[in-house]
């Protein structure tokens, strides 16, 4: 969560309530947002919901005209309710949460909780626990179904803006004057062309599922922050309603996990039967997706790959200079190498998603770049931004074929018949051998994007003309 200071060195004029809210709206309009709803979530919240005119991205904002300073401890009830609204949304449609306030108190706690460059994980966990102690029973019941990883995602998508009424008004006028964020038709989303087209895909269908699901009773001390740790972050397990769902037998879970379970108190179910009929549909799907993702990360980890969960799940190959030198290859393709002009390492990674389509589950692999300082630890802050800008794949053409090659590298690295995991763990974790995955090489759809720039321009001009005539074709 970035914290933006909008003020300058001068005396500000304090405004209250509606005035402050109105200037927040004015500032957001300068950023090319428009008000979608006003105070719609809950009667105890004073939220303003925005949508970006060009991208359709959602922002929910809270305006707090606190001249004495806003502390996270003063804001627990509202944070809990916004957090619950955030996780209620499907992941692709979750909003960013903006907090506007005149001043902050307890600055160090704000930073420890939410500033992604210096986040104190233990303080975030402690604050998450305190939410349950400071809200009413109705909210507590709903918080019991969440975990700290979801709260961490919410924190990452939270932004704090510090400025008085005058600060915001000055910034809004400056934005209006420069037109920096004004709506541009070429940044807008348009309907695709209706025409049947064959596509290459980044989908890998699960064609054979693991056989056994273990539903294990947990101890009283079990909670997400303790059950999930560096020993088992890659394992196919999911904590839900005081039960640990696992695709690994309790005896073969890491010791740090076994500490919070009753190893002799569990039931077994056929995994495929569970994914069709177990629990409520949404709960079942979340459990299944977490478990299938855990198989992928388990195999990745034991093939010398690393896992970054800052936003979702990103997997990238480790570069061990003693073993690989300055470049790690798979076949003729490099998967991690030292940069020539920087002392850092670039890795060809993938963001891992699990999705259900037409009743079947698929791995969705999104090629990405990860930069590390030593072949393991991701860089952060300004250095990360600079590297991403200098090595942006968008600067180069013919990305489709490049992405396809990267996907085939991951197919070979993680989905071959004989992985390191098979060799080192043998029969202890049979789930690795039981799972079978097949790449969906092509997909036929009845829509397509524009063939070239000329067709794109024609489509945009036609859509703009239709908007200007009120949606009536001339």
- Per-residue pLDDT band for 318 (boundaries 50, 70, 90) equals very high
Task: Using a pLDDT cut of 90, give the percent of the chain over it.
Answer: 12
Q: Is the pLDDT of residue 315 over 70?
A: yes
Domain spans of the chain, in order of start: 3-185, 306-418
Positive or negative, the CA dihedral 71, 72, 74, 75 is positive
Q: Which residues pair with 270 in a beta bridge?
A: 212
* pTM listed for this prediction: 0.56
Token pair of 336 as six digits: 């991690």
* Average pLDDT rounded to a whole number, residues 91-103: 87
The pLDDT value recorded for residue 1 is 52
What are the E-state strand segments in 271-388? Answer: 305-308, 314-317, 327-330, 333-338, 345-357, 360-372
* 56: region left, alpha or beta (phi > 0 left; psi from -120 to 50 alpha): left
Residue 441 has pLDDT above 90, yes or no: no
pLDDT, one tens digit per residue, over 113-139 is 777 665 667 888 888 888 777 666 666
What number is the average pLDDT over the span 195-203?
86
**Into which CATH architecture does domain 3-185 fall?**
3-Layer(aba) Sandwich (3.40)
Q: Does the structure show a pLDDT above 90 at 455?
A: no
pLDDT at 385: 84
Mean pLDDT of the 192-201 span: 84
Output the pLDDT for position 468: 42
Mean pLDDT, the chain, integer:
78
What's the rounded mean pLDDT across residues 340-351? Answer: 89
Tokens of 113: 């909780």
Pair type for strands 58-64 and 96-101: parallel
The single-letter DSSP state of residue 343 is S
pLDDT value at 351 more than 50: yes
pLDDT tens-digit series, residues 16-74: 678 888 889 999 988 888 887 655 555 556 678 898 877 778 899 988 877 677 888 88
Q: Quick check: 424 pLDDT over 70?
A: no
In this predicted structure, the answer to whether residue 330 has a pLDDT above a threshold of 70 is yes
In sequence order, the β-bridge partners of residue 194 are: 447
Q: What is the pLDDT of residue 302?
A: 79
Structure confidence at residue 29 (pLDDT): 87
Report the pLDDT value the prediction gives residue 346, as an integer from 0 to 100.
92
Share of the chain above pLDDT 70, in %: 77
Instruction: Say what the pLDDT of residue 181 is.
Output: 58
Q: Give pLDDT tens digits for 220-252.
A: 776 665 556 655 667 888 888 888 898 988 888
CA–CA gap between residue 426 and residue 443 (Å, rounded): 36
Residue 333's pLDDT band (cuts 50, 70, 90): confident
Query: For residues 157 and 95, is the Cβ–Cβ distance under 8 A?
Result: yes
Q: Which helix (H) or strand (E) holds 49?
A: strand 47-52
- Report, as an integer, the average pLDDT of 176-180: 69
* 3-state secondary structure (DSSP) of residue 244: strand
* First-to-final CA distance of the chain: 48
Mean pLDDT of 279-300: 86
Average pLDDT over residues 195-224: 85
Examine the pLDDT at 214 and tell me if it is beyond 90: yes
pLDDT in tens, 376-398: 999 888 888 888 877 776 554 44
Instruction: Give residue-wise pLDDT tens across range 142-167.
Output: 787 788 888 888 888 888 888 888 88
* Separation of alpha carbons 48 and 37, rounded Å: 6
394-419 pLDDT, tens digit each: 554 445 667 777 787 777 766 654 44
Q: Is the pLDDT of residue 210 over 80?
A: yes
């Amino acid at each position: 969560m970035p914290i933006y200071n909008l003020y300058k060195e001068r005396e500000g004029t304090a405004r209250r309530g509606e005035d402050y809210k109105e200037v927040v709206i004015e500032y957001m309009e300068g950023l090319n947002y428009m008000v979608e709803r006003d105070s719609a979530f809950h009667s105890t919240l004073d939220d303003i919901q925005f949508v970006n005119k060009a991208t359709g991205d959602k922002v929910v904002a809270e305006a707090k005209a606190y001249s004495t300073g806003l502390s996270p401890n003063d804001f627990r009830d509202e944070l809990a309710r916004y957090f619950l609204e955030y996780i209620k949304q499907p992941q692709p449609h979750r909003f960013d949460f903006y907090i506007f306030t005149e001043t902050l108190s307890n600055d160090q706690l704000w930073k420890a909780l939410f500033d992604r460059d210096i986040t104190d994980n233990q303080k975030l966990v402690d604050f998450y626990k305190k939410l349950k102690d400071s809200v009413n029973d109705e909210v507590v019941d709903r918080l019991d179904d969440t975990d700290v990883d979801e709260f961490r995602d919410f924190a990452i998508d939270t932004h704090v803006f510090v400025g008085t009424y005058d600060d915001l008004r000055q910034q809004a006028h400056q934005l209006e004057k420069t037109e920096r964020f004004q709506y541009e038709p070429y940044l807008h989303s348009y309907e695709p062309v209706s025409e049947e087209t064959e596509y290459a895909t980044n989908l890998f269908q699960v064609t054979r599922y693991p056989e056994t699901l273990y539903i294990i009773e947990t101890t009283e001390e079990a909670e997400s922050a303790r059950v999930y740790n560096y020993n088992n972050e890659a394992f196919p397990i999911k904590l839900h309603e005081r039960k640990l769902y696992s695709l690994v037998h309790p005896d073969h879970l890491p010791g740090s996990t076994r500490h919070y379970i009753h190893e002799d108190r569990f039931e077994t179910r056929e995994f495929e039967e569970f994914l069709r009929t177990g629990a409520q549909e949404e709960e079942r799907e979340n459990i299944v997706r977490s478990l299938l993702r855990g198989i992928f990360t388990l195999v990745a980890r034991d093939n010398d790959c690393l896992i970054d969960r800052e936003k979702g799940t990103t997997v990238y190959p480790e570069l061990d200079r003693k073993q690989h030198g300055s470049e790690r290859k798979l076949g003729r393709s490099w998967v991690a190498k030292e940069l020539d002009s920087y002392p850092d390492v670039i890795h060809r990674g993938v963001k891992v998603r699990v999705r259900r389509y037409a009743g079947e589950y698929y791995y969705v692999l999104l090629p990405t770049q990860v930069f590390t300082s030593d072949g393991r630890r991701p860089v952060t802050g300004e250095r990360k931004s600079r590297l991403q800008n200098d090595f942006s794949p968008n600067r180069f053409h013919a990305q489709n074929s490049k992405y396809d090659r990267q996907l085939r590298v991951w197919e070979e690295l993680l989905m071959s018949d004989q992985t390191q995991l098979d060799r080192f763990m043998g029969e202890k974790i049979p789930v690795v051998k039981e799972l079978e995955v097949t790449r969906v090489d092509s997909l036929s759809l009845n829509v397509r994007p524009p063939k070239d720039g000329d067709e794109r321009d024609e489509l945009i001009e036609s859509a703009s003309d239709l908007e200007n005539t009120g949606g009536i074709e001339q």
